[in-house]
Amino acid sequence: MIPVFAESADTAPIYVSVELSKRSWLVASLSPGTAKVSLSTLPAGDGEALCRHLRKLEDRAGTKSAAPVAIRLCFEIGYDGFWLARLLRARNIDTYVLDPASFLVSRRGKRAKTDRIDAEAMIGILKAYLAGDHSVCRIVTVPTPEEEDARRLMRERGDLIRERTKIIARIRALLALHGIAHVQALKGGDWATQLDNMRTGDGRALPPNLRQQITRCFERLALLNTQVKQIETARAEALSAENSSFPCPDKAARLEQLRGIGANGATMLVSEVFCRQFTSRRHLASFLGLAPSPYSSGSVDRDQGISKAGNRGARCLMVELAWGWLRYQPSSELTLWYRERFKGKGKRAAKVGVVALARKLLIALWRFVETGLVPHGAELRVA
Protein backbone atom coordinates (compact mmCIF):
# COMPACT_ATOMS: atom_id res chain seq x y z
CA MET A 1 0.00 0.00 0.00
CA ILE A 2 1.23 3.51 -0.87
CA PRO A 3 1.65 5.59 2.31
CA VAL A 4 -0.32 8.81 2.40
CA PHE A 5 1.31 11.70 4.25
CA ALA A 6 -0.97 14.49 5.28
CA GLU A 7 -0.04 17.79 3.67
CA SER A 8 -0.90 20.68 5.95
CA ALA A 9 -1.36 24.20 4.68
CA ASP A 10 1.48 25.53 6.83
CA THR A 11 4.06 22.92 5.72
CA ALA A 12 6.70 23.92 3.18
CA PRO A 13 7.68 20.88 1.06
CA ILE A 14 11.20 20.18 -0.16
CA TYR A 15 10.95 18.19 -3.40
CA VAL A 16 13.83 15.76 -3.88
CA SER A 17 14.53 13.28 -6.66
CA VAL A 18 17.35 10.75 -6.77
CA GLU A 19 18.73 9.47 -10.06
CA LEU A 20 20.23 6.10 -9.18
CA SER A 21 23.12 4.46 -11.01
CA LYS A 22 25.80 1.90 -10.24
CA ARG A 23 28.61 4.45 -9.83
CA SER A 24 26.95 7.47 -8.24
CA TRP A 25 23.64 8.98 -7.18
CA LEU A 26 22.53 12.37 -8.46
CA VAL A 27 20.30 14.15 -5.93
CA ALA A 28 18.16 17.03 -7.18
CA SER A 29 16.29 19.23 -4.70
CA LEU A 30 13.90 22.16 -4.91
CA SER A 31 13.60 24.08 -1.65
CA PRO A 32 10.67 26.35 -0.72
CA GLY A 33 10.86 29.85 -2.18
CA THR A 34 13.40 28.91 -4.87
CA ALA A 35 12.93 28.32 -8.58
CA LYS A 36 16.28 26.67 -9.34
CA VAL A 37 16.95 23.00 -8.76
CA SER A 38 20.09 22.19 -6.76
CA LEU A 39 22.18 19.17 -7.71
CA SER A 40 24.50 17.05 -5.57
CA THR A 41 26.40 13.82 -6.23
CA LEU A 42 26.67 11.04 -3.65
CA PRO A 43 28.40 7.63 -3.70
CA ALA A 44 26.15 4.91 -5.09
CA GLY A 45 24.61 2.62 -2.50
CA ASP A 46 25.34 4.89 0.48
CA GLY A 47 21.94 5.31 2.10
CA GLU A 48 23.36 6.93 5.22
CA ALA A 49 25.06 9.63 3.15
CA LEU A 50 21.74 10.32 1.46
CA CYS A 51 19.98 10.62 4.81
CA ARG A 52 22.62 13.06 6.06
CA HIS A 53 22.24 15.11 2.88
CA LEU A 54 18.46 15.23 3.35
CA ARG A 55 18.84 16.44 6.94
CA LYS A 56 21.15 19.22 5.74
CA LEU A 57 18.50 20.27 3.22
CA GLU A 58 15.92 20.35 6.01
CA ASP A 59 18.15 22.44 8.28
CA ARG A 60 19.05 24.85 5.50
CA ALA A 61 15.45 25.31 4.37
CA GLY A 62 14.20 25.53 7.96
CA THR A 63 16.38 28.56 8.69
CA LYS A 64 14.95 30.41 5.66
CA SER A 65 11.32 29.43 6.06
CA ALA A 66 8.99 30.40 8.88
CA ALA A 67 6.86 27.31 8.30
CA PRO A 68 8.02 23.77 9.13
CA VAL A 69 9.56 21.94 6.18
CA ALA A 70 9.02 18.35 5.04
CA ILE A 71 10.87 16.32 2.42
CA ARG A 72 8.98 14.70 -0.46
CA LEU A 73 11.40 12.32 -2.20
CA CYS A 74 11.07 10.13 -5.27
CA PHE A 75 13.20 7.84 -7.43
CA GLU A 76 12.67 5.42 -10.29
CA ILE A 77 12.35 1.72 -9.65
CA GLY A 78 15.21 -0.18 -11.20
CA TYR A 79 18.46 -1.97 -10.43
CA ASP A 80 18.54 -1.00 -6.73
CA GLY A 81 15.14 -2.46 -5.90
CA PHE A 82 13.19 -1.38 -2.83
CA TRP A 83 15.74 -1.33 -0.01
CA LEU A 84 16.28 2.42 -0.28
CA ALA A 85 12.55 3.14 -0.01
CA ARG A 86 12.33 1.01 3.14
CA LEU A 87 15.35 2.78 4.65
CA LEU A 88 13.98 6.27 3.97
CA ARG A 89 10.49 5.45 5.19
CA ALA A 90 11.96 4.01 8.37
CA ARG A 91 13.56 7.46 8.88
CA ASN A 92 10.10 9.08 8.44
CA ILE A 93 10.95 10.48 5.00
CA ASP A 94 8.02 10.65 2.59
CA THR A 95 9.25 8.42 -0.27
CA TYR A 96 7.62 7.57 -3.59
CA VAL A 97 8.88 4.93 -6.01
CA LEU A 98 7.98 5.85 -9.59
CA ASP A 99 7.39 3.64 -12.61
CA PRO A 100 9.55 5.23 -15.36
CA ALA A 101 7.57 3.50 -18.10
CA SER A 102 4.52 5.58 -17.13
CA PHE A 103 6.18 8.98 -17.70
CA LEU A 104 4.87 11.15 -20.50
CA VAL A 105 7.77 12.17 -22.76
CA SER A 106 8.02 14.63 -25.61
CA ARG A 107 7.74 13.20 -29.11
CA ARG A 108 9.14 16.31 -30.79
CA GLY A 109 12.31 15.22 -32.58
CA LYS A 110 15.14 13.53 -30.72
CA ARG A 111 14.76 13.64 -26.95
CA ALA A 112 17.78 14.71 -24.92
CA LYS A 113 18.45 12.41 -21.98
CA THR A 114 20.92 12.97 -19.17
CA ASP A 115 20.86 12.24 -15.45
CA ARG A 116 20.42 15.94 -14.73
CA ILE A 117 17.45 16.26 -17.08
CA ASP A 118 15.85 13.12 -15.65
CA ALA A 119 16.33 14.24 -12.04
CA GLU A 120 14.84 17.67 -12.71
CA ALA A 121 11.94 16.13 -14.65
CA MET A 122 11.15 13.80 -11.74
CA ILE A 123 10.77 16.79 -9.45
CA GLY A 124 8.17 18.26 -11.79
CA ILE A 125 6.39 14.91 -11.98
CA LEU A 126 6.37 14.55 -8.18
CA LYS A 127 5.00 18.08 -7.72
CA ALA A 128 2.18 17.39 -10.18
CA TYR A 129 1.36 14.05 -8.57
CA LEU A 130 1.22 15.47 -5.05
CA ALA A 131 -0.92 18.34 -6.37
CA GLY A 132 -3.55 15.77 -7.38
CA ASP A 133 -2.70 14.97 -11.01
CA HIS A 134 -2.23 11.19 -10.80
CA SER A 135 -2.08 10.83 -14.59
CA VAL A 136 1.55 12.02 -14.77
CA CYS A 137 2.99 8.76 -13.42
CA ARG A 138 2.25 5.53 -11.60
CA ILE A 139 3.47 4.89 -8.09
CA VAL A 140 5.00 1.47 -7.44
CA THR A 141 3.81 -0.31 -4.30
CA VAL A 142 6.78 -1.24 -2.13
CA PRO A 143 6.40 -4.87 -0.98
CA THR A 144 7.27 -5.97 2.51
CA PRO A 145 10.53 -7.93 2.91
CA GLU A 146 8.45 -11.07 3.56
CA GLU A 147 6.42 -10.63 0.37
CA GLU A 148 9.53 -9.98 -1.70
CA ASP A 149 11.35 -12.98 -0.22
CA ALA A 150 8.34 -15.25 -0.87
CA ARG A 151 8.52 -14.46 -4.58
CA ARG A 152 12.24 -15.23 -4.67
CA LEU A 153 11.72 -18.98 -4.24
CA MET A 154 9.64 -19.55 -7.37
CA ARG A 155 11.59 -17.01 -9.41
CA GLU A 156 14.78 -18.92 -8.68
CA ARG A 157 13.09 -22.13 -9.77
CA GLY A 158 12.15 -20.46 -13.05
CA ASP A 159 15.75 -19.41 -13.60
CA LEU A 160 16.98 -22.96 -12.93
CA ILE A 161 14.40 -24.44 -15.30
CA ARG A 162 15.53 -22.09 -18.09
CA GLU A 163 19.18 -23.00 -17.47
CA ARG A 164 18.28 -26.69 -17.51
CA THR A 165 16.44 -26.29 -20.81
CA LYS A 166 19.49 -24.64 -22.39
CA ILE A 167 21.81 -27.44 -21.24
CA ILE A 168 19.45 -30.15 -22.50
CA ALA A 169 19.22 -28.40 -25.87
CA ARG A 170 23.02 -28.17 -25.97
CA ILE A 171 23.44 -31.89 -25.27
CA ARG A 172 20.93 -32.82 -27.97
CA ALA A 173 22.61 -30.48 -30.48
CA LEU A 174 26.09 -31.88 -29.81
CA LEU A 175 24.89 -35.45 -30.31
CA ALA A 176 22.88 -34.54 -33.42
CA LEU A 177 26.12 -33.35 -35.05
CA HIS A 178 27.25 -36.99 -35.01
CA GLY A 179 24.00 -38.62 -36.05
CA ILE A 180 22.66 -39.47 -32.56
CA ALA A 181 19.01 -38.51 -32.25
CA HIS A 182 18.02 -40.15 -28.96
CA VAL A 183 19.45 -39.45 -25.50
CA GLN A 184 18.21 -40.57 -22.10
CA ALA A 185 18.98 -39.84 -18.42
CA LEU A 186 18.22 -36.14 -18.88
CA LYS A 187 16.23 -36.07 -15.64
CA GLY A 188 18.59 -38.36 -13.79
CA GLY A 189 20.09 -41.79 -14.26
CA ASP A 190 23.27 -43.53 -15.37
CA TRP A 191 24.27 -41.14 -18.12
CA ALA A 192 27.96 -42.22 -17.97
CA THR A 193 27.13 -45.77 -19.08
CA GLN A 194 24.91 -44.35 -21.78
CA LEU A 195 27.79 -42.32 -23.18
CA ASP A 196 30.05 -45.41 -23.15
CA ASN A 197 27.54 -47.36 -25.25
CA MET A 198 26.75 -44.56 -27.70
CA ARG A 199 27.78 -44.90 -31.32
CA THR A 200 27.81 -42.16 -33.91
CA GLY A 201 25.86 -42.37 -37.14
CA ASP A 202 28.87 -43.95 -38.90
CA GLY A 203 29.39 -46.53 -36.14
CA ARG A 204 32.23 -44.95 -34.13
CA ALA A 205 32.48 -44.30 -30.40
CA LEU A 206 32.16 -40.72 -29.19
CA PRO A 207 35.33 -38.65 -29.81
CA PRO A 208 37.21 -37.97 -26.54
CA ASN A 209 36.81 -34.17 -26.53
CA LEU A 210 33.12 -34.42 -27.38
CA ARG A 211 32.69 -37.02 -24.65
CA GLN A 212 34.32 -34.72 -22.08
CA GLN A 213 32.17 -31.75 -23.12
CA ILE A 214 28.94 -33.76 -22.87
CA THR A 215 30.10 -35.17 -19.52
CA ARG A 216 30.49 -31.67 -18.14
CA CYS A 217 27.05 -30.76 -19.50
CA PHE A 218 25.52 -33.77 -17.73
CA GLU A 219 27.29 -32.82 -14.49
CA ARG A 220 25.81 -29.32 -14.62
CA LEU A 221 22.43 -30.84 -15.48
CA ALA A 222 22.57 -33.16 -12.48
CA LEU A 223 23.36 -30.21 -10.21
CA LEU A 224 20.41 -28.23 -11.60
CA ASN A 225 18.06 -31.19 -11.11
CA THR A 226 19.17 -31.45 -7.50
CA GLN A 227 18.67 -27.73 -6.89
CA VAL A 228 15.20 -27.78 -8.44
CA LYS A 229 14.20 -30.61 -6.11
CA GLN A 230 15.59 -28.67 -3.13
CA ILE A 231 13.51 -25.63 -4.07
CA GLU A 232 10.37 -27.73 -4.44
CA THR A 233 11.00 -29.22 -0.99
CA ALA A 234 11.49 -25.74 0.47
CA ARG A 235 8.27 -24.60 -1.24
CA ALA A 236 6.29 -27.43 0.36
CA GLU A 237 7.77 -26.66 3.76
CA ALA A 238 7.03 -22.93 3.42
CA LEU A 239 3.37 -23.59 2.64
CA SER A 240 2.86 -26.14 5.41
CA ALA A 241 4.68 -24.30 8.23
CA GLU A 242 2.43 -22.64 10.80
CA ASN A 243 4.63 -19.55 11.17
CA SER A 244 5.39 -19.30 7.46
CA SER A 245 6.00 -15.84 5.99
CA PHE A 246 4.53 -16.92 2.66
CA PRO A 247 1.56 -14.65 1.82
CA CYS A 248 -1.88 -16.29 1.57
CA PRO A 249 -0.93 -20.02 1.73
CA ASP A 250 -4.64 -20.87 1.88
CA LYS A 251 -5.09 -19.47 -1.65
CA ALA A 252 -2.30 -21.69 -2.97
CA ALA A 253 -3.89 -24.74 -1.35
CA ARG A 254 -7.24 -23.82 -2.88
CA LEU A 255 -5.77 -23.47 -6.37
CA GLU A 256 -4.19 -26.93 -6.13
CA GLN A 257 -7.68 -28.42 -5.80
CA LEU A 258 -8.29 -27.73 -9.50
CA ARG A 259 -7.11 -30.31 -11.99
CA GLY A 260 -4.48 -28.95 -14.35
CA ILE A 261 -2.88 -26.65 -11.78
CA GLY A 262 0.07 -28.07 -9.89
CA ALA A 263 1.76 -27.01 -6.69
CA ASN A 264 4.46 -24.95 -8.41
CA GLY A 265 2.02 -23.06 -10.62
CA ALA A 266 -0.34 -22.37 -7.72
CA THR A 267 2.49 -21.10 -5.52
CA MET A 268 3.84 -18.77 -8.19
CA LEU A 269 0.39 -17.39 -9.03
CA VAL A 270 -0.30 -16.56 -5.40
CA SER A 271 3.13 -15.06 -4.67
CA GLU A 272 3.14 -12.93 -7.84
CA VAL A 273 -0.54 -12.10 -8.38
CA PHE A 274 -3.20 -13.26 -5.96
CA CYS A 275 -1.47 -11.94 -2.83
CA ARG A 276 -2.44 -8.48 -4.08
CA GLN A 277 -5.84 -6.79 -4.02
CA PHE A 278 -7.55 -6.01 -7.34
CA THR A 279 -10.61 -3.84 -7.77
CA SER A 280 -11.89 -5.40 -11.00
CA ARG A 281 -11.14 -8.00 -13.63
CA ARG A 282 -9.78 -5.27 -15.92
CA HIS A 283 -7.36 -4.21 -13.18
CA LEU A 284 -6.23 -7.82 -12.83
CA ALA A 285 -5.75 -8.38 -16.58
CA SER A 286 -3.81 -5.14 -16.99
CA PHE A 287 -1.46 -6.13 -14.14
CA LEU A 288 -0.34 -9.15 -16.18
CA GLY A 289 -0.35 -7.32 -19.51
CA LEU A 290 -3.25 -9.42 -20.81
CA ALA A 291 -5.45 -6.40 -21.46
CA PRO A 292 -6.15 -5.43 -25.10
CA SER A 293 -4.42 -2.44 -26.71
CA PRO A 294 -6.76 -0.81 -29.25
CA TYR A 295 -5.54 1.70 -31.82
CA SER A 296 -8.24 4.06 -33.05
CA SER A 297 -7.44 7.34 -34.80
CA GLY A 298 -9.68 8.88 -37.42
CA SER A 299 -10.62 6.20 -39.93
CA VAL A 300 -7.99 3.78 -38.60
CA ASP A 301 -9.38 1.28 -36.13
CA ARG A 302 -7.42 -1.87 -35.32
CA ASP A 303 -6.39 -4.09 -32.44
CA GLN A 304 -2.72 -4.23 -31.42
CA GLY A 305 -3.12 -7.37 -29.29
CA ILE A 306 -2.35 -7.57 -25.60
CA SER A 307 -0.32 -4.80 -23.98
CA LYS A 308 2.43 -7.04 -22.46
CA ALA A 309 3.01 -4.27 -19.93
CA GLY A 310 2.67 -6.28 -16.73
CA ASN A 311 4.34 -9.12 -14.89
CA ARG A 312 6.08 -11.12 -17.63
CA GLY A 313 6.74 -14.25 -15.56
CA ALA A 314 3.14 -14.54 -14.38
CA ARG A 315 1.87 -13.86 -17.91
CA CYS A 316 3.98 -16.69 -19.35
CA LEU A 317 2.77 -18.96 -16.56
CA MET A 318 -0.87 -18.19 -17.37
CA VAL A 319 -0.31 -19.15 -21.02
CA GLU A 320 1.23 -22.46 -19.89
CA LEU A 321 -1.69 -23.07 -17.53
CA ALA A 322 -4.11 -22.32 -20.37
CA TRP A 323 -2.58 -25.10 -22.48
CA GLY A 324 -2.75 -27.43 -19.49
CA TRP A 325 -6.36 -26.41 -18.84
CA LEU A 326 -7.36 -27.59 -22.32
CA ARG A 327 -5.87 -31.00 -21.55
CA TYR A 328 -6.97 -31.61 -17.97
CA GLN A 329 -10.31 -29.76 -17.99
CA PRO A 330 -11.84 -30.91 -21.31
CA SER A 331 -15.45 -30.46 -20.18
CA SER A 332 -15.13 -27.01 -18.62
CA GLU A 333 -16.94 -24.03 -20.07
CA LEU A 334 -13.66 -22.29 -20.92
CA THR A 335 -12.37 -25.28 -22.88
CA LEU A 336 -15.64 -25.59 -24.80
CA TRP A 337 -15.49 -21.87 -25.63
CA TYR A 338 -11.95 -22.23 -26.95
CA ARG A 339 -12.75 -25.24 -29.11
CA GLU A 340 -15.85 -23.66 -30.58
CA ARG A 341 -14.06 -20.47 -31.54
CA PHE A 342 -10.48 -21.48 -32.43
CA LYS A 343 -10.25 -25.23 -33.09
CA GLY A 344 -9.49 -26.18 -36.69
CA LYS A 345 -8.53 -22.65 -37.79
CA GLY A 346 -4.77 -23.07 -37.96
CA LYS A 347 -1.79 -22.77 -35.65
CA ARG A 348 -1.85 -18.98 -35.50
CA ALA A 349 -5.49 -18.93 -34.44
CA ALA A 350 -4.70 -21.54 -31.79
CA LYS A 351 -1.91 -19.40 -30.31
CA VAL A 352 -4.04 -16.25 -30.36
CA GLY A 353 -6.91 -18.17 -28.80
CA VAL A 354 -4.83 -19.61 -25.96
CA VAL A 355 -3.80 -16.09 -24.93
CA ALA A 356 -7.47 -15.10 -24.82
CA LEU A 357 -8.13 -18.26 -22.83
CA ALA A 358 -5.33 -17.33 -20.43
CA ARG A 359 -7.05 -14.01 -19.68
CA LYS A 360 -10.41 -15.67 -19.06
CA LEU A 361 -8.77 -18.38 -16.96
CA LEU A 362 -6.92 -15.77 -14.88
CA ILE A 363 -10.19 -14.04 -14.01
CA ALA A 364 -11.88 -17.35 -13.22
CA LEU A 365 -9.03 -18.39 -10.91
CA TRP A 366 -9.11 -14.99 -9.20
CA ARG A 367 -12.80 -15.40 -8.43
CA PHE A 368 -12.13 -18.95 -7.25
CA VAL A 369 -9.44 -17.99 -4.72
CA GLU A 370 -11.34 -14.92 -3.51
CA THR A 371 -14.90 -16.24 -3.30
CA GLY A 372 -14.64 -20.01 -3.79
CA LEU A 373 -16.62 -19.87 -7.08
CA VAL A 374 -15.51 -22.93 -9.08
CA PRO A 375 -15.15 -22.25 -12.84
CA HIS A 376 -18.16 -23.63 -14.71
CA GLY A 377 -17.64 -27.29 -15.60
CA ALA A 378 -14.23 -27.52 -13.94
CA GLU A 379 -13.29 -30.68 -12.07
CA LEU A 380 -11.69 -30.76 -8.64
CA ARG A 381 -9.08 -33.28 -7.59
CA VAL A 382 -10.39 -36.17 -5.56
CA ALA A 383 -9.11 -35.94 -1.98
**Letter for the amino acid at 164?**
R
For residues 261 and 327, what is the distance between their CA atoms, to the nearest angstrom?
11
Cβ(171)–Cβ(183) under 8 Å? yes
For residues 100 and 119, what is the distance between their CA atoms, to the nearest angstrom?
12
Cβ(31)–Cβ(38) under 8 Å? yes
For residues 167 and 156, what is the distance between their CA atoms, to the nearest angstrom?
17
Task: Look at residue 383 in the predicted model and tell me its pLDDT.
Answer: 62
The phi and psi torsions of 146 (rounded to 5 degrees) equal -70, -40
Task: Look at residue 9 in the predicted model and tell me its pLDDT.
Answer: 54
pLDDT tens over the chain, length 383 residues: 455 444 455 688 999 999 999 999 999 999 988 889 999 999 999 999 999 999 999 988 888 877 788 999 999 998 888 999 999 999 999 999 999 888 877 777 777 888 899 899 999 999 999 999 988 898 998 988 888 888 888 899 999 999 999 999 999 999 999 999 888 888 888 888 989 899 999 999 999 999 999 999 999 999 999 999 999 999 898 888 877 778 888 899 999 999 999 999 999 999 889 988 888 998 898 888 887 777 777 778 777 777 777 788 889 999 999 999 999 999 999 999 999 999 888 888 999 899 999 999 999 999 999 999 999 999 998 76
Task: Look at residue 104 in the predicted model and tell me its pLDDT.
Answer: 78
Domain residue ranges in the chain: 12-130, 145-245, 250-371
Task: Look at residue 107 in the predicted model and tell me its pLDDT.
Answer: 73
- Helix runs in 65-140, H state only: 83-90, 115-130
Instruction: Return the CATH fold of 12-130.
Output: Nucleotidyltransferase; domain 5 (3.30.420)
Task: Look at residue 4 in the predicted model and tell me its pLDDT.
Answer: 46
Instruction: Tell me the whole-structure pTM to 2 decimals.
Output: 0.80
Question: What H or E segment, with its residue span, contains residue 350?
Answer: helix 347-371
Task: Look at residue 246 in the predicted model and tell me its pLDDT.
Answer: 82
